[in-house]
Structure 1
């Protein structure tokens, strides 16, 4: 989506709300801030509360920037590589659905992978700068990895709910902002979440979120297939 296109469209509040709910569910499922907060609590164990709060805010800010760049520059990236929207919808839908299926079956494997990313980095650089650690590896790839970026670009590739460009991009932007705030809140109170919810409770929530993500992935996939079919029929009609 391009800025001039967004500025010339009308905004519908009900469309923005529906898009926000869809995008927030998809991003929450793939980012999984609840499960990630359990690992974040382990990596910041023994650190001062003030430092944990600052670190959580920095991770949330960097995550917001990464996802917003993915959404706002998604159309330009597609145009630069000459990738059609339908192709991205199909591939993005497959990525989202496969990722959701893996999370649905074994969310603990995703937790273990993220845990290795963070602890391996910490072992190599115990005295690293706080800002450096906030961006890498805590913001990327721990919180917002390639899967989250792919989902953001796939969501920005087209208006699957039939909304205007302005309503769609505003809904996506608000969803990204909500995800970043969710990350900040959950990371800030990670220790309390660990004591009250535990790993089992977090995995139950992760599986429920993964089911929603699977449905969204299938929706994006079939939206792309529908576009391919429509384009093919239109091309055949022109030939005949």
Structure 2
């Protein structure tokens, strides 16, 4: 049972962390919080990490019922969420350079930044539709057997907490990463991260469109053949 729990945690964590990709999004976070002090950025990173854990837990435990209640399909979730991610990446890709030298005077606007901790910094930039869909899929076939059900609950909580810890660690140290890269290196990293964010959004949309059109095309082929 212990081996099964560890295996499930590692499988779920690996899948989610690769989709969330906090190491790349850390530079997006840095660009969005460029006017904050290190302490304020740390506090915001902690809030985003807590929000991310909550979002993942909701997706794990009540994601499927919520989608069914509102009549939202997984395809619609991917297309709509992917569009939001792609638009955000496009705006960042075309935004003017805002990276300043380390230690420069900053006009802190922490209240405004904190108001954006959930949207858009947590959803969809950190735990976007890809992460939510993955969390829902991981628990879609949850067994009704009590022991396996309990195992799945523990695994889901551990996975969410581990992802939250990695998000906080990378986001809170985004400024340190930029110091090693330098001003020009950070600009390049931000542009690359923005481009990757755009590509991720487009890929999520394409996956949703493919999942939606696939059955229709298959049914049309069967009808034509018949």
Pick the TM interval, shorter chain.
0.5 to 0.7
| TM score, norm. by length of structure 1 | 0.56
Q: Distance in 1 between matches of 2:154 and 2:212?
A: 22
Q: Distance in 1 between matches of 2:44 and 2:51?
A: 11
Q: Distance in 1 between matches of 2:205 and 2:78?
A: 4
Call closer, same or farther: CA 1:180–1:44 in 2, change over 3 Å: same
| TM score, norm. by length of structure 2 | 0.59
Structure 2 residue runs of 5 or longer lacking an equivalent are: 98-105, 143-148
Stretch moving more, 12-21 or 146-155 = 12-21
**Structure 2 residue 133 is matched with structure 1 residue 154:** yes
Call closer, same or farther: CA 1:78–1:97 in 2, change over 3 Å: closer
Aligned CA-pair RMSD: 4.6
- Once the two structures are TM-superposed, the CA of residue 62 in structure 1 deviates from its matched residue by 2.6
1:195 to 170, 179, 201: 179
Call closer, same or farther: CA 1:144–1:187 in 2, change over 3 Å: same
2:58 to 69, 72, 76: 69
Secondary structure of 2:168 counterpart = helix
Asked if 1 retains the 8 angstrom alpha-carbon contact of 2:49 and 2:165, the reply is: yes
Asked if 2 retains the 8 angstrom alpha-carbon contact of 1:88 and 1:154, the reply is: no
Stretch moving more, 212-221 or 65-74 = 212-221
Structure 1 residue runs of 5 or longer lacking an equivalent are: 1-10, 113-118
Asked if 1 retains the 8 angstrom alpha-carbon contact of 2:19 and 2:130, the reply is: yes
Call closer, same or farther: CA 1:149–1:102 in 2, change over 3 Å: closer
**Structure 2 residue 118 is matched with structure 1 residue 140:** yes
**Structure 2 residue 13 is matched with structure 1 residue 24:** no
Q: Distance in 2 between matches of 1:170 and 1:227?
A: 35
Question: 2:67 is matched with which residue?
Answer: 78
